Amino acid sequence: MTMIMAMLGEVIPILKKILAAIRKDRTLLCREMYPKTAGIDNDRITVENLADLAGNHLFDDLPDLFGITKLEGHMARAYFQTGAMQGNYGYVAELHREFPEVMEEEREEYLVWVNSSRAKKGLPSIMVE
């Protein structure tokens, strides 16, 4: 199996399509639509919810719902997976910086968890507004 590595610059156009689809139809975030999704506050556009959708393969299993191709879905999932595997979760700050007009406030518990993981790697805390 080939691992797809995706960096922010490569996934910005893909994430724009995904976010446009979600803004048009917020039910795409709804956990009732996807029984295997375990996110909290699923009606909000947050990095936590996007990472949850990606982690549950919704972008690559159901790409048509998000206006993307299967390959683009794999790239979006890889973007989140890479940050999680490295333990830096840099995508949290990146997405809030890149899409400030779309991203909503993250849950405090999520940021505490992310920053705890970053601290174990000797990385500074992520602060998002």
What's residue 40's pLDDT? 61
In the block, tokens 């795409």 appear at: 28
3-state secondary structure of 93: helix
Produce one character per residue of 46-80: b if its CB has 16 or more CB atoms within 10 Å, e if not.
bbbbbbbbbbbebbbebbebbebeeebbbbbbbbb
What is the pTM (predicted TM-score) of this model?
0.87
What's residue 4's pLDDT? 47
In the block, tokens 């393969």 appear at: 57
What's residue 127's pLDDT? 85
Residue 16 Cα distances to 23, 76, 103, 109, 122, angstroms = 10, 11, 12, 26, 31
What's residue 2's pLDDT? 39
pLDDT in tens, the chain (129 residues): 334 456 888 899 999 999 999 999 988 887 666 655 455 666 789 999 999 889 888 999 999 999 999 999 999 999 999 888 888 888 999 999 999 999 999 999 999 999 999 999 999 999 886
